[in-house]
Structure formats: C-alpha cells, structure tokens
Amino acid sequence: MELQRRVNLKPYNTLSLNVEAAYFVAINCLDDLRQARKFCHDKCCPWLLIGGGSNLVLTQDFEGLVMLMAMDQVFWPVEKEKQSISKTFSVNAQAGYEWDLLVAESVARGASGLENLSLIPGQVGAAPIQNIGAYGVELKHCLELVQVFNFDTGDTFELAAKDCEFGYRDSVFKRNRSWIVTQVQFSLTYGNQPQVSYGIIADTIMSLSGELAANASPQQVRDAVIHIRRSKLPDPKKVPNVGSFFKNPIVSDSQKQKLAQQWPGLVAYAIDGKGHKLAAGWLIDQLGWKGFKQGDVGVHEHQALVLVCSGVATGKDVLDLAQTIKVDVAKKFGVTLEVEPRLFDNRGEFYL
C-alpha cells in the first residue's frame, strides 16, 4: 500500500471540486483494503472510498483517508467454457472496472442484459449500491452475487441478489456504509432479448437503423441508448456534473391524480402496487430552472435534472442551488425531492 499525503481530489470527482485528502491510497487488492483499515484504526481517522467519482459531492477537505478503488479485472468465460455453457452465463468484474467498458464488452460478445445501462458513468462497484437503472432495466435484473469487504470488521463475505434488498436507486449497501463492494457477478444471455418498453428506445432504433425494435440486437439497443444519453446529458469531462442530481419521487395514486388535475402534462409512471414515479426533471423544468445560472453553478440547458458547475465552484455552491430547487418544488408541487449523489464534509457522509 503506497500512502500519499495532501492529495488534491479534483481529478477524482466528476464535479471537479477542488478539495484535498489528508491521506490517499489506491486500492489494488484485498490486502490493500486490510492495510488501509489498520491505518484508519491506528490513526483513529475517517475514511472515504472513491470509485469513478461520478456520484459524490465533496464539500470540504477530507481529514481522513481517501481510498481510490483500483481493482479492475474482469473474468469472462473462456472459449471452451462458452461452447459448453447454456444460453445464460456468468461474468465476474472487480469493483474498479469501468462500468460502460463492461457493457461494451458484453455487447461485443453478443451477450444481452446490460445494454440498456450503457454510458452510465462510474465503476462496477457502485452499480449494486445504487441499483443503477435506465430505460426499463435495473441492475437487479442481471445481478447474481456481490463480494463484500466489511471495513469495520475486516471480514469478507458474499451476498446473493435476493439479499441485497434492491429498490429504486437503493440497496442494503446504503444501510451498511462500512460494506465495500469488491467484485460483482452478473448473469447474461446469448441472443437477442431486447428490452424496449420505453418508446424513445424503440423510436431511436427505428431512426438509426430503419429496423423494428422488437428484433433489435444488443448493439442496436446500446447504440440507441448512447444516442439518447448524449443528446440529453452533458459529458462530465467537458462540463462538470454528477448526472441526475435528484431521484424521481414516488407518490401515491391519489397524490398523482391530484397533481395531474393541476398540471395536465404531468409525467408519471405507474409502479406495481407502489403508486407512481414522477419525472423529477419535468417538475424542475416546469418551474423555469432549466438553463439557470448562479455564479459558478447552474442547471443544464437541456436537462433540468442535471446541475453543472465550473472548475472553481465549491460543493457548498452546488448544494445551495440544490436546496433552493428542492424548496421550490416542495412549495409548488407538494413533493419532496431527494438528492441522488452522496454528500461528504471533512469527516464523512451527511444528508441534505
């Protein structure tokens, strides 16, 4: 374990926030995690694990140890195994592997299951924590097993998908912050099984290829998703952001009906037995926030769900704007927005 001191974290978070870590180390193997745990215990200091940095807001210099997840191997079936296995097979990826690279490789191998989750930023390890989802597919649909390191105890263990308590952008890992994902096992399928329930996916496939979505290949679905995301979302390498800043709120059927009467264009999706999911971006857009700028932070001009900032903005600047938007939405719609990225001050995580 090669420990560094006073490391600037600007290159390691997609908001490009200029904060510093008192201590910093890259995690390349389980033994590095064990040594990092001992260091934090001996120093009595807090710790923070960073993956792709696309789902966190750093508001202050961090007084403890920041660990960069760098375990980045992926294990595909070898050719002989591929010939003997059934239509469904498993692939294992370590937590530090780039998520979209895994999706691209699965599609290139003719495998289906991940293509709707194309171009989601971050690493594999963050995927089960958030139960990432897009265009009718959530990670829980293809996840089999998660390997975990408990930073509090030093123990390692495995969790089957059924034990991960997956919900909308939620999982058991959010209630056990000392659990660090080290590897994930996915179940994929050979052959075309397109998930094109979202109309925009079907329309984009037809537009790009001239073919019906029902017969689309995994590559055609991936191409459509990438096309849609690039048209709506800014590239964090060019415009600092963390993607969707707010979760889509879930309301009761009666509340949805009341809102629909007041706002005829309300965008909502029924959830089996759980009411309706409202489009947070639509709510924010109706209140005129799209394209708003306040100093070095603002709301993206094409997507009201995305907060953007300049290279000199602070985490406090970002959260001040987010809080103002939350208050406005609550006042006009009676709906409470929940921040999606994780928030950290100098000692650890906090909630807005």
List active site positions.
Answer: 169, 244, 340
C-alpha 284/C-alpha 279 separation (Å) is: 9
User: Residue 311 in 3-state DSSP?
Assistant: coil
Hunting for tokens 């006073």 — which residue is that? 6
Pairing of strands 342-344, 56-58: parallel
Hunting for tokens 């590559």 — which residue is that? 219
User: Which residue type does 271 have?
Assistant: I
Do residues 71 and 95 make contact, with C-beta atoms less than 8 angstroms apart? yes
Sequence-separated (6 or more) residues with CB below 8 Å from residue 302: 231, 232, 234, 290
- Stretch (H or E) spanning 101: helix 99-108
The first and second tokens of residue 109, run together, are: 């191998």
The first and second tokens of residue 192, run together, are: 């075309």
Sequence-separated (6 or more) residues with CB below 8 Å from residue 139: 117, 127, 128, 130, 131, 132, 133, 166
